[in-house]
Structure 1
Amino acid sequence: MAASVMFHDGNRRLQDDFDSRRIADRLEEKLTRFAFTDQDRAFIEGAMFFFLATADAGGRPDCSFKGGTPGFVRIVGTDELAFPDYDGNGMFKSLGNVVANPAVGLLFIDMGEKPRRLRVNGEARVSRDDPLREHFAGAQLLVRVKVRAIFPNCPRYIVTPGATEPSTYAPRPGYAPPEPAWKGFDDFKDYIHPRQKTPTESS
Protein backbone atom coordinates (compact mmCIF):
# COMPACT_ATOMS: atom_id res chain seq x y z
CA MET A 1 0.00 0.00 0.00
CA ALA A 2 1.19 3.55 -0.76
CA ALA A 3 2.24 5.88 2.04
CA SER A 4 -0.69 6.83 4.24
CA VAL A 5 -2.35 10.22 3.89
CA MET A 6 -4.41 9.53 6.99
CA PHE A 7 -2.03 8.32 9.68
CA HIS A 8 1.03 9.76 11.42
CA ASP A 9 3.34 8.26 14.04
CA GLY A 10 0.94 9.01 16.89
CA ASN A 11 -1.88 7.15 15.15
CA ARG A 12 0.46 4.27 14.37
CA ARG A 13 1.64 3.91 17.97
CA LEU A 14 -1.90 3.45 19.25
CA GLN A 15 -2.88 1.22 16.32
CA ASP A 16 0.06 -1.02 17.15
CA ASP A 17 -0.78 -0.99 20.88
CA PHE A 18 -4.28 -2.23 20.10
CA ASP A 19 -3.49 -4.37 17.04
CA SER A 20 -5.67 -2.25 14.76
CA ARG A 21 -3.18 -1.24 12.06
CA ARG A 22 -4.55 -3.78 9.58
CA ILE A 23 -8.14 -2.54 9.82
CA ALA A 24 -7.00 1.10 9.80
CA ASP A 25 -5.06 0.52 6.58
CA ARG A 26 -7.96 -1.40 5.07
CA LEU A 27 -10.42 1.38 5.88
CA GLU A 28 -8.08 3.91 4.30
CA GLU A 29 -7.62 1.73 1.23
CA LYS A 30 -11.34 1.08 0.69
CA LEU A 31 -13.00 4.28 1.87
CA THR A 32 -10.64 7.24 1.55
CA ARG A 33 -11.00 9.24 -1.63
CA PHE A 34 -9.59 12.44 -3.08
CA ALA A 35 -12.47 13.63 -5.26
CA PHE A 36 -16.12 14.10 -4.41
CA THR A 37 -18.60 11.47 -5.57
CA ASP A 38 -22.15 12.31 -6.68
CA GLN A 39 -23.32 10.98 -3.29
CA ASP A 40 -20.86 13.26 -1.48
CA ARG A 41 -22.14 16.24 -3.45
CA ALA A 42 -25.79 15.48 -2.65
CA PHE A 43 -25.01 14.99 1.05
CA ILE A 44 -22.82 18.09 1.45
CA GLU A 45 -24.95 20.44 -0.62
CA GLY A 46 -28.07 19.24 1.21
CA ALA A 47 -26.55 19.90 4.63
CA MET A 48 -27.79 22.73 6.86
CA PHE A 49 -24.76 22.56 9.15
CA PHE A 50 -21.31 21.13 9.65
CA PHE A 51 -18.51 21.29 12.23
CA LEU A 52 -15.24 23.01 11.35
CA ALA A 53 -12.00 22.08 13.12
CA THR A 54 -9.04 24.45 12.89
CA ALA A 55 -5.82 25.16 14.78
CA ASP A 56 -3.69 28.25 15.17
CA ALA A 57 -0.04 28.52 14.17
CA GLY A 58 0.96 26.94 17.50
CA GLY A 59 -1.32 23.94 17.01
CA ARG A 60 -3.94 25.03 19.58
CA PRO A 61 -7.26 23.67 18.30
CA ASP A 62 -10.72 25.12 17.94
CA CYS A 63 -14.00 23.62 16.71
CA SER A 64 -16.97 25.63 15.50
CA PHE A 65 -20.49 25.02 14.23
CA LYS A 66 -21.34 26.42 10.78
CA GLY A 67 -24.93 26.58 9.63
CA GLY A 68 -27.10 27.89 6.81
CA THR A 69 -29.73 26.83 4.31
CA PRO A 70 -29.21 23.72 2.15
CA GLY A 71 -26.65 24.63 -0.51
CA PHE A 72 -24.66 27.00 1.70
CA VAL A 73 -21.74 24.60 1.21
CA ARG A 74 -21.03 24.01 -2.47
CA ILE A 75 -18.82 21.59 -4.33
CA VAL A 76 -16.97 23.86 -6.75
CA GLY A 77 -14.50 21.37 -8.22
CA THR A 78 -13.72 17.68 -8.20
CA ASP A 79 -11.66 18.20 -5.05
CA GLU A 80 -12.76 21.60 -3.78
CA LEU A 81 -15.68 23.01 -1.82
CA ALA A 82 -16.64 26.50 -0.70
CA PHE A 83 -18.76 28.01 2.04
CA PRO A 84 -19.59 31.56 3.17
CA ASP A 85 -18.78 33.28 6.43
CA TYR A 86 -21.89 34.93 7.81
CA ASP A 87 -22.16 37.64 10.45
CA GLY A 88 -21.02 36.36 13.85
CA ASN A 89 -19.50 37.64 17.06
CA GLY A 90 -16.51 39.23 15.35
CA MET A 91 -13.87 37.10 17.08
CA PHE A 92 -12.96 35.22 13.87
CA LYS A 93 -11.69 32.28 15.91
CA SER A 94 -11.97 29.72 13.11
CA LEU A 95 -11.15 31.89 10.11
CA GLY A 96 -8.35 33.62 11.98
CA ASN A 97 -6.88 30.18 12.55
CA VAL A 98 -7.20 29.45 8.82
CA VAL A 99 -5.23 32.61 8.03
CA ALA A 100 -2.45 31.39 10.35
CA ASN A 101 -2.73 27.67 9.58
CA PRO A 102 -4.72 26.51 6.52
CA ALA A 103 -5.15 22.88 7.65
CA VAL A 104 -8.84 22.20 8.40
CA GLY A 105 -11.22 19.33 9.07
CA LEU A 106 -14.94 19.44 8.22
CA LEU A 107 -17.45 17.00 9.69
CA PHE A 108 -20.87 16.62 8.07
CA ILE A 109 -23.52 14.68 10.00
CA ASP A 110 -26.99 13.43 9.06
CA MET A 111 -28.88 12.63 12.28
CA GLY A 112 -31.95 11.22 10.54
CA GLU A 113 -33.34 7.70 10.47
CA LYS A 114 -30.30 6.53 8.51
CA PRO A 115 -27.43 8.41 10.21
CA ARG A 116 -24.37 9.31 8.18
CA ARG A 117 -21.06 11.06 8.78
CA LEU A 118 -18.56 12.37 6.25
CA ARG A 119 -15.19 13.96 6.97
CA VAL A 120 -13.38 16.31 4.62
CA ASN A 121 -9.79 17.27 5.47
CA GLY A 122 -7.89 19.82 3.45
CA GLU A 123 -6.27 23.22 3.08
CA ALA A 124 -8.45 26.32 3.36
CA ARG A 125 -8.10 29.89 2.22
CA VAL A 126 -10.22 32.91 3.13
CA SER A 127 -11.09 35.72 0.72
CA ARG A 128 -13.17 38.92 0.64
CA ASP A 129 -12.72 39.24 -3.13
CA ASP A 130 -13.68 35.78 -4.37
CA PRO A 131 -16.39 36.36 -7.04
CA LEU A 132 -18.30 33.35 -5.71
CA ARG A 133 -19.03 35.30 -2.52
CA GLU A 134 -21.69 37.30 -4.40
CA HIS A 135 -23.75 34.12 -4.78
CA PHE A 136 -24.20 33.81 -1.01
CA ALA A 137 -26.57 36.40 0.46
CA GLY A 138 -25.13 37.90 3.63
CA ALA A 139 -21.63 36.48 3.16
CA GLN A 140 -18.80 38.63 4.54
CA LEU A 141 -16.04 36.28 3.39
CA LEU A 142 -15.73 33.14 1.33
CA VAL A 143 -13.76 30.06 2.34
CA ARG A 144 -12.49 27.55 -0.21
CA VAL A 145 -11.19 24.15 0.91
CA LYS A 146 -8.92 22.08 -1.31
CA VAL A 147 -9.29 18.42 -0.38
CA ARG A 148 -6.54 16.32 1.15
CA ALA A 149 -8.81 13.39 2.02
CA ILE A 150 -12.53 12.56 2.05
CA PHE A 151 -13.75 9.65 4.12
CA PRO A 152 -16.97 8.40 5.70
CA ASN A 153 -17.20 7.47 9.37
CA CYS A 154 -19.20 4.74 11.07
CA PRO A 155 -22.39 6.51 12.28
CA ARG A 156 -23.18 4.09 15.10
CA TYR A 157 -23.02 6.58 18.01
CA ILE A 158 -25.19 9.25 16.37
CA VAL A 159 -28.55 9.81 18.04
CA THR A 160 -31.64 11.41 16.50
CA PRO A 161 -32.28 14.93 17.83
CA GLY A 162 -34.76 14.78 20.71
CA ALA A 163 -33.94 11.16 21.54
CA THR A 164 -34.05 10.35 25.24
CA GLU A 165 -31.98 7.18 24.97
CA PRO A 166 -28.33 6.82 23.92
CA SER A 167 -27.34 5.00 20.75
CA THR A 168 -27.96 1.26 20.91
CA TYR A 169 -24.23 0.91 20.22
CA ALA A 170 -23.14 2.99 23.23
CA PRO A 171 -21.41 0.84 25.90
CA ARG A 172 -22.83 1.02 29.42
CA PRO A 173 -22.77 -1.12 32.56
CA GLY A 174 -24.61 -4.42 32.26
CA TYR A 175 -25.18 -4.07 28.50
CA ALA A 176 -23.38 -5.64 25.55
CA PRO A 177 -23.86 -3.43 22.48
CA PRO A 178 -24.30 -5.08 19.06
CA GLU A 179 -21.49 -5.02 16.52
CA PRO A 180 -21.94 -2.55 13.64
CA ALA A 181 -22.86 -4.19 10.33
CA TRP A 182 -19.73 -2.98 8.52
CA LYS A 183 -17.54 -5.32 10.57
CA GLY A 184 -19.18 -8.23 8.76
CA PHE A 185 -18.73 -6.83 5.26
CA ASP A 186 -16.48 -8.88 2.95
CA ASP A 187 -14.10 -5.94 2.51
CA PHE A 188 -13.42 -5.73 6.25
CA LYS A 189 -14.34 -8.88 8.16
CA ASP A 190 -10.89 -10.48 7.79
CA TYR A 191 -9.14 -7.33 9.03
CA ILE A 192 -11.04 -6.64 12.25
CA HIS A 193 -8.77 -6.33 15.27
CA PRO A 194 -9.44 -8.30 18.46
CA ARG A 195 -11.18 -6.54 21.31
CA GLN A 196 -8.50 -5.74 23.86
CA LYS A 197 -8.25 -4.26 27.30
CA THR A 198 -6.28 -1.09 27.79
CA PRO A 199 -2.61 -1.55 28.72
CA THR A 200 -3.44 -0.58 32.35
CA GLU A 201 -6.26 -3.10 32.59
CA SER A 202 -4.04 -5.81 31.10
CA SER A 203 -1.17 -5.24 33.52
Structure 2
Amino acid sequence: MAESLMFHDGNRRLQDEFDSRRIADRLVEKLTHTEFTASDRAFIEGAMFFFLATSDDRGQPDCSFKGGTPGFVKVIGASELAFPDYDGNGMFKSLGNILANPSVGLLFIDMGEKPRRVRVNGEATVSRDDPLMQRFAGAQLLVRVKARAIFPNCPRYIVTPGASDASRYAPRPGYEPPEPAWKGFDDFKDYIHPRQKTPEGA
Protein backbone atom coordinates (compact mmCIF):
# COMPACT_ATOMS: atom_id res chain seq x y z
CA MET A 1 0.00 0.00 0.00
CA ALA A 2 2.79 2.43 0.90
CA GLU A 3 4.47 2.09 -2.48
CA SER A 4 1.34 2.21 -4.63
CA LEU A 5 -0.69 4.88 -2.85
CA MET A 6 1.58 7.11 -0.84
CA PHE A 7 5.22 7.20 -1.86
CA HIS A 8 7.20 7.79 -5.04
CA ASP A 9 10.95 8.00 -5.64
CA GLY A 10 11.16 11.59 -4.40
CA ASN A 11 9.52 10.67 -1.09
CA ARG A 12 11.78 7.66 -0.72
CA ARG A 13 14.95 9.63 -1.41
CA LEU A 14 14.25 12.00 1.47
CA GLN A 15 13.00 9.24 3.76
CA ASP A 16 16.26 7.38 3.23
CA GLU A 17 18.33 10.54 3.66
CA PHE A 18 16.69 11.24 7.03
CA ASP A 19 16.24 7.59 8.07
CA SER A 20 12.44 7.87 8.24
CA ARG A 21 11.37 5.12 5.82
CA ARG A 22 10.42 2.73 8.63
CA ILE A 23 8.16 5.21 10.44
CA ALA A 24 6.68 6.40 7.15
CA ASP A 25 5.69 2.86 6.22
CA ARG A 26 4.41 2.19 9.74
CA LEU A 27 2.19 5.27 9.68
CA VAL A 28 0.69 4.09 6.41
CA GLU A 29 0.23 0.57 7.75
CA LYS A 30 -1.51 1.70 10.94
CA LEU A 31 -3.35 4.86 9.96
CA THR A 32 -3.99 5.03 6.23
CA HIS A 33 -7.21 3.54 4.90
CA THR A 34 -9.38 3.66 1.81
CA GLU A 35 -12.82 3.66 3.44
CA PHE A 36 -14.19 6.33 5.77
CA THR A 37 -14.57 5.34 9.40
CA ALA A 38 -17.48 6.55 11.52
CA SER A 39 -15.06 9.01 13.13
CA ASP A 40 -13.93 10.28 9.71
CA ARG A 41 -17.54 10.78 8.65
CA ALA A 42 -18.48 12.72 11.79
CA PHE A 43 -15.40 14.93 11.50
CA ILE A 44 -15.79 15.66 7.79
CA GLU A 45 -19.54 16.25 7.89
CA GLY A 46 -19.13 18.53 10.91
CA ALA A 47 -16.55 20.71 9.16
CA MET A 48 -17.33 24.27 8.05
CA PHE A 49 -14.30 24.45 5.77
CA PHE A 50 -11.49 22.50 4.15
CA PHE A 51 -8.58 23.14 1.81
CA LEU A 52 -8.60 21.72 -1.70
CA ALA A 53 -5.39 21.06 -3.66
CA THR A 54 -5.57 20.57 -7.42
CA SER A 55 -3.23 20.86 -10.39
CA ASP A 56 -3.73 21.47 -14.08
CA ASP A 57 -2.73 19.38 -17.08
CA ARG A 58 0.80 20.84 -16.88
CA GLY A 59 1.23 19.99 -13.21
CA GLN A 60 0.85 23.61 -12.06
CA PRO A 61 -0.65 23.51 -8.53
CA ASP A 62 -3.47 25.45 -6.93
CA CYS A 63 -4.84 25.41 -3.39
CA SER A 64 -8.19 26.87 -2.41
CA PHE A 65 -10.37 27.32 0.66
CA LYS A 66 -13.85 25.79 0.55
CA GLY A 67 -16.39 26.75 3.19
CA GLY A 68 -20.03 26.33 4.12
CA THR A 69 -22.26 25.24 6.97
CA PRO A 70 -21.62 21.95 8.81
CA GLY A 71 -22.73 19.16 6.49
CA PHE A 72 -21.82 20.94 3.27
CA VAL A 73 -19.42 18.05 2.68
CA LYS A 74 -21.13 14.66 2.81
CA VAL A 75 -19.70 11.17 2.88
CA ILE A 76 -21.88 9.41 0.32
CA GLY A 77 -20.23 6.00 0.15
CA ALA A 78 -17.63 3.79 1.78
CA SER A 79 -14.85 5.63 -0.08
CA GLU A 80 -16.64 8.62 -1.60
CA LEU A 81 -17.57 12.12 -0.52
CA ALA A 82 -19.25 15.03 -2.26
CA PHE A 83 -19.34 18.79 -1.87
CA PRO A 84 -21.07 21.64 -3.71
CA ASP A 85 -19.55 24.46 -5.71
CA TYR A 86 -21.13 27.73 -4.62
CA ASP A 87 -21.21 31.05 -6.43
CA GLY A 88 -17.69 32.51 -6.60
CA ASN A 89 -15.49 34.72 -8.74
CA GLY A 90 -16.07 32.74 -11.93
CA MET A 91 -12.41 31.76 -12.38
CA PHE A 92 -13.09 28.06 -11.74
CA LYS A 93 -9.46 27.48 -10.82
CA SER A 94 -10.05 24.35 -8.76
CA LEU A 95 -12.92 22.82 -10.70
CA GLY A 96 -11.33 23.65 -14.03
CA ASN A 97 -8.19 21.89 -12.87
CA ILE A 98 -10.26 18.83 -11.95
CA LEU A 99 -11.61 18.67 -15.50
CA ALA A 100 -8.01 18.58 -16.75
CA ASN A 101 -6.49 16.49 -13.95
CA PRO A 102 -8.83 14.63 -11.57
CA SER A 103 -6.24 14.00 -8.84
CA VAL A 104 -7.05 16.05 -5.72
CA GLY A 105 -6.06 16.41 -2.09
CA LEU A 106 -8.43 17.59 0.66
CA LEU A 107 -7.29 18.76 4.08
CA PHE A 108 -9.79 19.03 6.93
CA ILE A 109 -8.63 20.83 10.09
CA ASP A 110 -10.14 21.36 13.54
CA MET A 111 -8.33 24.27 15.20
CA GLY A 112 -10.17 23.96 18.52
CA GLU A 113 -8.99 22.82 21.93
CA LYS A 114 -8.45 19.31 20.59
CA PRO A 115 -6.90 19.98 17.17
CA ARG A 116 -7.22 17.38 14.46
CA ARG A 117 -6.35 16.95 10.79
CA VAL A 118 -7.62 14.46 8.22
CA ARG A 119 -6.36 14.26 4.66
CA VAL A 120 -8.22 12.70 1.73
CA ASN A 121 -6.41 12.04 -1.56
CA GLY A 122 -8.37 10.77 -4.52
CA GLU A 123 -9.93 11.27 -7.91
CA ALA A 124 -12.62 13.91 -8.46
CA THR A 125 -15.40 14.50 -10.96
CA VAL A 126 -17.48 17.63 -11.58
CA SER A 127 -21.13 17.66 -12.66
CA ARG A 128 -23.91 20.22 -13.08
CA ASP A 129 -26.69 17.63 -13.25
CA ASP A 130 -25.70 15.13 -10.56
CA PRO A 131 -28.87 13.74 -8.90
CA LEU A 132 -27.30 14.47 -5.51
CA MET A 133 -27.33 18.22 -6.16
CA GLN A 134 -30.80 18.51 -4.64
CA ARG A 135 -29.23 17.66 -1.27
CA PHE A 136 -26.94 20.70 -1.46
CA ALA A 137 -28.71 24.04 -1.22
CA GLY A 138 -27.16 26.73 -3.40
CA ALA A 139 -25.00 24.35 -5.43
CA GLN A 140 -24.10 25.35 -8.98
CA LEU A 141 -22.00 22.24 -9.53
CA LEU A 142 -21.27 19.12 -7.53
CA VAL A 143 -17.88 17.55 -6.95
CA ARG A 144 -17.54 13.87 -6.08
CA VAL A 145 -14.25 12.53 -4.73
CA LYS A 146 -13.40 8.84 -4.74
CA ALA A 147 -10.79 8.39 -2.02
CA ARG A 148 -7.66 6.38 -2.64
CA ALA A 149 -6.06 7.28 0.70
CA ILE A 150 -7.55 8.66 3.92
CA PHE A 151 -5.16 9.45 6.74
CA PRO A 152 -4.76 11.65 9.81
CA ASN A 153 -1.91 14.08 10.36
CA CYS A 154 -0.21 14.88 13.63
CA PRO A 155 -1.89 18.14 14.77
CA ARG A 156 1.02 19.46 16.84
CA TYR A 157 1.66 22.66 14.83
CA ILE A 158 -2.00 23.73 14.63
CA VAL A 159 -2.67 27.04 16.40
CA THR A 160 -6.07 28.05 17.72
CA PRO A 161 -7.36 31.10 15.78
CA GLY A 162 -6.67 34.28 17.71
CA ALA A 163 -3.88 32.75 19.79
CA SER A 164 -0.93 35.06 20.37
CA ASP A 165 1.63 32.29 20.81
CA ALA A 166 2.94 29.72 18.37
CA SER A 167 2.43 26.01 18.99
CA ARG A 168 4.55 24.73 21.87
CA TYR A 169 5.94 22.22 19.38
CA ALA A 170 7.26 24.90 17.03
CA PRO A 171 11.08 25.18 17.11
CA ARG A 172 12.55 28.56 18.04
CA PRO A 173 15.89 29.90 19.26
CA GLY A 174 16.76 28.84 22.80
CA TYR A 175 13.83 26.45 23.08
CA GLU A 176 13.68 22.67 22.77
CA PRO A 177 10.13 21.65 21.82
CA PRO A 178 8.65 18.50 23.37
CA GLU A 179 8.17 15.33 21.37
CA PRO A 180 4.55 14.64 20.41
CA ALA A 181 2.82 11.92 22.40
CA TRP A 182 2.27 9.65 19.40
CA LYS A 183 5.99 8.91 19.18
CA GLY A 184 5.67 7.00 22.43
CA PHE A 185 2.66 4.92 21.38
CA ASP A 186 3.26 1.16 21.21
CA ASP A 187 2.39 1.10 17.50
CA PHE A 188 5.15 3.59 16.65
CA LYS A 189 7.84 3.86 19.34
CA ASP A 190 10.05 1.16 17.82
CA TYR A 191 9.92 2.78 14.37
CA ILE A 192 10.76 6.40 15.21
CA HIS A 193 13.59 7.99 13.25
CA PRO A 194 16.24 10.20 14.87
CA ARG A 195 15.35 13.87 15.25
CA GLN A 196 16.02 15.33 11.83
CA LYS A 197 19.27 17.18 11.36
CA THR A 198 20.55 19.14 8.41
CA PRO A 199 22.59 16.76 6.21
CA GLU A 200 26.27 17.55 5.85
CA GLY A 201 26.90 19.76 2.87
CA ALA A 202 23.28 20.90 2.62
- State the TM-score bracket (shorter-chain normalisation): over 0.9
Q: Assess if the C-alpha contact under 8 Å between 2:2 and 2:28 holds in 1.
A: no
Structure-1 residue corresponding to 2:11: 11
Between the two proteins, the alignment pairs up a number of residues equal to 202
Q: Structure 2 vs 1, CA of residues 89 and 2 (structure 1 numbering), >3 Å: closer, same or farther?
A: closer
Structure-2 residue corresponding to 1:42: 42
Structure-2 residue corresponding to 1:104: 104
Alpha-carbon offset, residue 68 of structure 1: 0.2
Q: Assess if the C-alpha contact under 8 Å between 2:109 and 2:116 holds in 1.
A: yes
**d(CA) in 2 for partners of 1:3, 1:62:** 25
Where 2:14 maps in the other structure, the secondary structure is: helix
Segments of 4+ in structure 1 off by > 6 A?
A: none
Q: Structure 1: 5+ residue runs without aligned partners?
A: none
Q: Structure 2: 5+ residue runs without aligned partners?
A: none
Supply the AA of the counterpart residue of 2:119: R
**d(CA) in 2 for partners of 1:109, 1:33:** 18
Q: Structure 2 vs 1, CA of residues 2 and 182 (structure 1 numbering), >3 Å: closer, same or farther?
A: closer
Structure-1 residue corresponding to 2:142: 142
Report percent identity of matched pairs. 83
> What is the correspondence of 1:1-203 to structure 2 with a 5 Å cutoff?
3-200=3-200
Mean Cα deviation higher: 73-82 or 188-197: 188-197
**d(CA) in 2 for partners of 1:181, 1:157:** 13
Supply the AA of the counterpart residue of 1:85: D
Q: Structure 2 vs 1, CA of residues 176 and 47 (structure 1 numbering), >3 Å: closer, same or farther?
A: same
TM-score (norm 1): 0.97
**d(CA) in 1 for partners of 2:152, 2:169:** 18
TM-score (norm 2): 0.97
